[in-house]
């Protein structure tokens, strides 16, 4: 390809060097005195002040929300723990019948529904399970090897004891 007449034939710069034209232009620009109008200066300064003033406000807001989030998390976790510890299982009957002797030592084995006292509902629960054929051998309270009306009667008599 032929060079145009206006083209300045210069040595081709290597890859890591700027073209001489650019270097010259940069040198000239460096020698020039740039005059920034005072109005522009003041505007930049005012914007900078405004921005710097807003930083503590944002930081305070962020800190407040961080604290709020942390406190509400702790409260929520505590509430859930308390609710889980004090709440009853949804189906107490099934839970009790599946593990009749898993109760703490201070709960009577005859307290089938584990409501804290032996009442007629405990005898009724055994009777219903006996009828449905799902009675547990743990309810053989007179230990005669059979779960029958005698065991139910023992629970019922506990319920009406004076």
Partner 1 sequence: MNHRTECRRLGIPLSWIALMILDAGLVVMAIGQDSRPDVLSQDADRPATVTQIDGAGDQGREDVRFEAIDVFVDSGAVPLAAFQFEMQSRRPGVEIVGIEGGEHAAFAEPPYYDPRAMNNNRVILAAFSTADELPSGRSRVARVHVQFQGPEPHKFETRLDVSATTDGKPIPATISLTKATL
Distance, C-alpha 161 to centroid of its chain: 50
Other Cβ atoms less than 10 A from the Cβ of 108: the count is: 15
Contact 112, 126 (CB under 8 A): yes
Which of 34/83 has CB closer to partner 1?
83
Contact 113, 88 (CB under 8 A): no
The CA distance from 155 to 79, in Å, is 37
The CA distance from 83 to 95, in Å, is 18
Binding mask 117-156 for partner 1 (x = CB under 8 A): --xxx-xxx-xx--x---------------------x--x
Three-state SS for 54? helix
Which of 21/71 has CB closer to partner 1?
71
Scanning 21-29, 34-42, 85-93, 98-106 for contacts with partner 1 by CB under 8 A, the matching segment is 85-93
For the bound state, the minimum distance from the C-beta of residue 102 to partner 1, rounded and expressed in Å, comes to: 18
Contact 147, 158 (CB under 8 A): no
Q: Is 8 in the site for partner 1 (CB under 8 A)?
A: no
For the bound state, the minimum distance from the C-beta of residue 50 to partner 1, rounded and expressed in Å, comes to: 15
Which of 42/92 has CB closer to partner 1?
92
List of residues contacting partner 1 (CB under 8 A): 58-59, 61-62, 65-66, 68-69, 72-73, 75-77, 79-80, 82-84, 86-88, 92-93, 113, 115, 119-121, 123-125, 127-128, 131, 153, 156-157, 159-162
């Amino acid at each position: 390809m032929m060079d145009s007449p206006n083209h300045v034939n210069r040595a081709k710069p290597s890859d890591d060097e700027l073209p001489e034209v650019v270097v010259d232009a940069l040198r000239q620009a460096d020698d020039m005195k740039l005059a920034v109008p005072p109005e522009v200066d003041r505007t930049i300064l005012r914007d900078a002040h405004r921005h710097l003033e807003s930083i503590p406000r944002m930081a305070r807001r962020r800190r407040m929300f961080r604290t709020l989030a942390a406190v509400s998390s702790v409260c929520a976790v505590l509430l859930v723990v308390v609710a889980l510890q004090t709440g009853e299982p949804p189906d107490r009957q099934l839970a009790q019948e599946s593990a009749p002797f898993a109760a703490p030592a201070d709960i009577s084995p005859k307290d089938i529904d584990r409501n804290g006292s032996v009442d007629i509902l405990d005898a009724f629960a055994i009777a219903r399970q006996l009828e449905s054929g799902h009675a547990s051998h743990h309810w053989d309270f007179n230990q005669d090897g059979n779960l029958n009306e005698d065991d139910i009667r023992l629970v019922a008599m506990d319920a009406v004891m004076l």
